[in-house]
Structure 1
Amino acid sequence: MGTKATTVEQQITLLESRGMKFDCDVEKIKETLLDIGYYRLGFYSYYFQDKKSHQFTSDINFNDIIKLYYFDFDMKMLLLRYIYRIEVHFRTQLVYFASNFYNENNTWYIDSKIVDNQILKEFNSIYFNLKTKNKIISKHHKKYHPCDYAPTWKVFEFLTFGQVFKVFSNLKNEDLKLKISEVYGFREISLLNNYFISIINIRNICSHNGVLFDYNQPIGIQSIPNLKYRLKTQNNTNLNASLRLLLFILSKVSKNRASDLEQEVKSLLAIASQNELVKNIIISKIKFDL
């Protein structure tokens, strides 16, 4: 899409001129374009276009692109539900172990003796927004005025996964970080760091409308210490690697939920594979092999 807005009629004409096929009525095409958006669909049709001419390189049908879009959307919604379970569990471990370790300091998260100075300025900005906009935190300050900060267990309920993990990463006490890592069976903090950064990356793709099926981790996922979930190939960045990691970490939280996710992923892949274009994408890009 260029620098000038176009009507849905112009968008259809442009797609036709580039070789896209349509097997549904024009009104349905317009409805879809106004629902999803020409620009967003471009993230999916891009894979089937010549990078210079923008001509579609094979017999691509509009409905095939829509199928691919909804497959990717459904996978994102599925993973978000289970990532949330991991997020809540990790937040609980951090709050529980750190708050009991520093049981005389219920606001340890803003203590420069406990948390590295480099994130405190950033955290103060986050906290100001909570204090002014979050009903629970605002209520706390009205009740306990003039306290500067609310207790950890109240505040951390309203932090993002990334913010919670950043606090963990900036704890000065390595023994405390190791104790939390051991909850997941890790004797090395670096392993937990690699895994949870990878999970947060996937969460961000799912939450912010990125293309999931073709996502590659910026840093490879380290070897998974579990025979079932260990990678079978050298590719430790693609979605297959991330799915195996999610299943492994989830199995540390709840084996039943890990089993549920595995079955739901397999079911989604099977249904989506009924479309030939999507099936080829699953085989060539995702390569799920569990």
Structure 2
Amino acid sequence: MGVRYTHQAITTERQIDILKERGLLIDDVEQTIKVLDTISYFRLAGYWRNFEADHATHRFRDGCRFADIITLYSFDKQLRALLFTAIQTIEVAVRTKIIKHFALEFGAFWFMEENHATNETRFAANLAVIRKEVERSHDDFITEHFRKYNEPDLPPVWKTLEVISMGTLSKLYSNFSDATAKHAVAREFGLNHHKFLRSWLECLAVLRNCCAHHSRLSNRVFPVKPKMPERMPNTWIADFSFREQTLYPQLCCVVYWLNSITPENTFIADFKQLLIKHPSVQTRLLGFPRSWEHEPLWR
């Protein structure tokens, strides 16, 4: 049985007093007020947790400053922007490859045909979500389609898959029954088996949502972890001694994926530059192993 919540709202000044009482050093109170009036107390709380000596009392380690927390927050914000751009490239490519390989062999409306699904319940759930997502769309090619056609009740796959969410796309691919077609899409991205692409899509959907909703990436435990094959056709990692539910393996997948689409991409260089701009940020907060810079993928 829980306890009734009785705390009341407090002023920004009182928030600062609490942080001081817990041992956080604040050099400029006026500037801190401006920050807390722009970035909420509990959004920043996820970042200063790493600076606490005791999570029960929320006592800070000696010498910790509010400026250190803002530096980590700024790094995280810029990392999300960098990552979101990379995810956009991957997402568009995945949609295109699925449309290309599935539509030519299984027709324009395969996603509406139950015989192409491995699980009937998931098929029905996916189709219901697709209907809602298409109905919400205001894209010109969707509205123009419905002006002209009324049967079937959804546009063909090359239109529909452009407006469904990444999560729905992931579930649609996972539940598709033809392994050969799924393998063909996976090989487009340098993956030997569709089970890896299925896993990576599931993780990418979660990671994309984190970036889209401005959620913290540093020191985050992800609910799903990507399958990490030990051998890959293209340049990959050699050391697998990392924490599986951190950002690091997710970034490894993104980099590998991105390299298969646009080998000339600058993601690694941009990421390393971001670290140089924020020298106080520790890569261990992202789950990076000690010698990650020597990994073939990250050189």
TM-score class normalised by the smaller sequence: 0.7 to 0.9
Note the residue ranges of structure 2 that are not aligned, 5 or more in a row.
none
Map of 1:268 onto structure 2: 274
> What is the TM-score normalised by the length of structure 1?
0.88
CA distance in 1, matches of 2:185, 2:285: 37
Given residue 236 of structure 2, which amino acid in structure 1 is its aligned partner? Y
Q: How many residues align?
A: 280
CA distance in 2, matches of 1:204, 1:141: 29
Given residue 162 of structure 1, which amino acid in structure 2 is its aligned partner? G
- Deviation at residue 53 of structure 1 after TM alignment: 1.2
The alignment's C-alpha RMSD in Å is 2.3
Map of 2:26 onto structure 1: 22
Map of 1:250 onto structure 2: 258
Q: How does 1:1-290 map to 2 (within 5 A)?
A: 3-24=7-28, 26-49=29-52, 50-103=54-107, 106-115=108-117, 116-117=119-120, 118-136=122-140, 137-145=142-150, 147-217=152-222, 218-219=224-225, 221-222=227-228, 223=230, 225=232, 228-235=235-242, 237=244, 238-257=246-265, 260-273=266-279, 276=280, 278=281, 281-283=282-284, 285-287=286-288, 288-289=292-293, 290=298
Note the residue ranges of structure 1 that are not aligned, 5 or more in a row.
none
- Deviation at residue 55 of structure 1 after TM alignment: 1.2
Residues 195, 81 of structure 1: alpha-carbon distance in 2 compared, 3 angstrom cutoff: same
Percentage of pairs with the same residue: 24
CA distance in 2, matches of 1:239, 1:2: 36
- Deviation at residue 194 of structure 1 after TM alignment: 2.7
Given residue 59 of structure 2, which amino acid in structure 1 is its aligned partner? Q
Residues 148-170 of structure 1, C-alpha deviations (whole Å, 9 max, x = no match) = 11111111111122211211111
- Deviation at residue 54 of structure 1 after TM alignment: 1.3
SS of the aligned residue for 2:277 comes to helix
Given residue 264 of structure 1, which amino acid in structure 2 is its aligned partner? D
Residues 219, 101 of structure 1: alpha-carbon distance in 2 compared, 3 angstrom cutoff: same
> What is the TM-score normalised by the length of structure 2?
0.85
CA contact (8 A) 2:47 2:73 kept: yes
SS of the aligned residue for 1:113 comes to helix
CA contact (8 A) 1:141 1:147 kept: no
Residues 84-130 of structure 1, C-alpha deviations (whole Å, 9 max, x = no match) = 10111010000111111123xx2221111123422333422432342
Residues 202, 128 of structure 1: alpha-carbon distance in 2 compared, 3 angstrom cutoff: closer
SS of the aligned residue for 1:142 comes to helix
